[in-house]
């Protein structure tokens, strides 16, 4: 048994092509909006959200749309208005990619219930053979000596059975064909516990992130997924403070001011 801890790596974030944006804005007379933007390497997510909102009403500056006599120039206030109006579809353009590392199949099973706005590529235990059983124990469990003794003995037995099966099926014998390996590896994973740690790339847009952070840090949610989404929430608050600054955190529960955008 290998003792592990769930980790989150933010591996992708949106990037704007400002030249292309400028070319489009010149076409529609909206260049002044672009001049007002900050363009640091962490600004693209929020800028893209604002762009998506402003394109709806041609709200780059007053007068471009005769129905609009004034526009919000303050970036943060503009995005706050998007949240307060629940104009959430504009947030769907802004996607972040996270590697969720050493998370259990308990977590991944719950995570895949969130359907819109996500992309998932999960480690395949049909192909990836378990040589050991990576496992996370919460701190309260680690402090229970008898529990740990019995749990590690059980996991050790499961690990040994994995190795026995690999040998029994001759998976490492030269010439063993790949289809057979896959077939048997898939059978073998049935004897791994739900808590076995695995990994996936999980990409989600801001609308989905806001919803899942709230749902999965709720006190009623499962402890590992709460831990994970607490980490994701902190990352997102640093990445896009204007889109994640409305949360209050109470005992690990992230409660947004603007719900269900």
Residue whose CB is less far from ligand FAD, 31 or 218 = 218
CB 81 within 8 A of CB 110: no
How many chain residues bind ligand FAD (CB under 6 A)? 10
Binding residue for ligand FAD (CB under 6 A) from 52, 64, 99, 215? 215
If the CB atoms of residues 43 and 222 are measured against ligand FAD, the closer one turns out to be 222
The nearest distance, CB 234 to ligand FAD, in angstroms, is: 19
- Cβ atoms of 234 and 241 within 8 Å: the answer is no
Measured from the CB atom, is 132 or 218 closer to ligand FAD?
218
Decide whether 92 or 123 has the Cβ nearer to ligand FAD: 92
CA distance linking residue 101 with residue 80, whole number of Å: 32
Residue span binding ligand FAD (CB under 6 A) among the ranges 26-34, 111-119, 124-132, 178-186: 111-119
Q: Are 231 and 8 in contact (CB under 8 A)?
A: yes
Which residue of 115, 140, 174, 248 would you call a contact of ligand FAD, by CB under 6 A?
A: 115
Residues 6+ apart with CB under 8 A from 168: none
Under rule CB under 6 A, residue 233 binds ligand FAD: no
C-alpha torsion sign, points 15, 18, 22, 23: negative
Query: Closest approach of Cβ 54 to ligand FAD, in Å?
Result: 25
Confirm or reject binding of residue 41 to ligand FAD (CB under 6 A): no
**Shortest distance in whole angstroms from residue 212 CB to ligand FAD:** 6
- Report, in Å, the least distance between residue 211 CB and ligand FAD: 5
Helix ranges (H only) for 40-104 are 44-57, 75-84
Judged by CB under 6 A, the chain residues 116 through 145 that form the site for ligand FAD are: 116
Q: Quick check: 99 binds ligand FAD (CB under 6 A)?
A: no
Nearer to ligand FAD, 129 or 211 (CB): 211
Closest to ligand FAD by CB, 169 or 258 = 258
* Token pair belonging to 75: 């970036």
Distance between CA atoms of 87 and 261, rounded to whole angstroms?
Answer: 6
Q: Name residues whose C-beta falls within 8 Å of residue 260's C-beta, 6 or more positions apart in sequence.
A: 86, 88, 211
**Per DSSP, what are the bridge partners of residue 201?**
99, 121
For residue 216, report the phi and psi dihedrals to the nearest 5 degrees. -95, 0
Instruction: Pick from 17, 113, 146, 190 the residue near ligand FAD by CB under 6 A.
Output: 113
User: How far apart, in whole angstroms, are the C-alpha atoms of residue 80 and residue 245?
Assistant: 9
List 83, 221, 227, 233, residue binding ligand FAD (CB under 6 A): 221
Tokens representing residue 15 in the block:
């990037």
Residues at the contact surface with ligand FAD, assessed by CB under 6 A: 113-116, 211, 215-216, 218, 220-221
């Amino acid at each position: 048994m290998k003792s592990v801890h769930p980790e989150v790596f933010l591996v992708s974030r949106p990037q704007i092509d400002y030249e292309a944006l400028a070319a489009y804005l010149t076409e529609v007379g909206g260049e002044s909006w672009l001049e007002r933007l900050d363009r640091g390497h962490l600004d693209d997510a929020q800028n893209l959200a604002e762009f998506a909102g402003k394109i709806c009403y041609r709200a780059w500056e007053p007068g471009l749309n005769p129905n609009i006599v004034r526009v919000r120039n303050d970036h943060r206030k503009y995005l706050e208005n998007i949240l307060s109006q629940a104009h959430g579809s504009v947030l769907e353009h802004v996607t972040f990619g996270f590697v969720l590392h050493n998370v259990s199949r308990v977590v991944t099973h719950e995570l895949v219930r969130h359907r819109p706005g996500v992309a998932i590529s999960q480690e395949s235990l049909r192909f990836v053979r378990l040589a050991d059983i990576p496992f996370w124990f919460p701190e309260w469990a680690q402090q229970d000596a008898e529990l740990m003794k019995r749990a590690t003995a059980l996991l050790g037995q499961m690990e040994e059975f994995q190795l026995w099966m690999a040998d029994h099926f001759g998976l490492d014998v030269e010439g063993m064909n790949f289809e057979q390996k896959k077939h048997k590896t898939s059978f073998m994973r049935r004897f791994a516990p739900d808590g076995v740690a695995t990994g996936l790339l999980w990409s989600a847009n801001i609308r989905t992130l806001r919803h899942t952070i709230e749902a999965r840090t709720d006190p009623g949610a499962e402890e590992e997924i709460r831990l994970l989404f607490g980490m994701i929430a902190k990352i997102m608050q640093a990445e896009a403070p204007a889109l994640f600054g409305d949360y209050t955190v109470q005992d690990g529960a992230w409660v947004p001011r603007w719900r269900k955008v």
